[in-house]
Amino acid sequence: MRIISNKALRDFAILHPQSETALQEWRKRMEATTSNSYSELKTAFNSVDKVGNYYIFNIAGNHYRLIAAIHFNTQTVYIRDVLTHKEYDLWKP
């Protein structure tokens, strides 16, 4: 899958340096993945959940949440936000 864009991950890692390794590992794994549906994505990423039109990934043992819009037909992932667990609790889809 193609990720749009890594800048969101880098920006979050500037504020939360301990997240950088886990975020970049997620990016590399996602780029190596081909999924045509949520069920296929769930097989590749057991911790992913679907909330409304977004896909929520637990990062670094659930310390962070990555919110993405995924277009399976074009194999494109749009990173909407990366949040701490506390910030995610306030997030509304």
Residue 55: CATH number of its domain: 3.30.2310
The per-residue pLDDT for range 73-89, each reduced to its tens digit, is 999 999 999 999 899 98
Structural domain harbouring 35 = 2-90
Q: What pTM was computed for the model?
A: 0.93
Taking a C-beta distance cutoff of 8 angstroms, is the pair 64, 19 a contact? yes
Name, in order, each residue with C-beta under 8 angstroms of 70's C-beta and a sequence gap of 6 or more.
1, 35, 41, 55, 76, 77, 78
Type of residue found at 53: N
Full DSSP string of 14-47:
HH-GGGHHHHHHHHHHHHT---SSHHHHHHH-TT
The per-residue pLDDT for range 48-70, each reduced to its tens digit, is 999 999 999 999 988 999 999 99
Domains of the chain: total: 1
Residue 55, classified by CB atoms within 10 Å of its CB into exposed (0-12), middle (13-18) or buried (19+), is buried
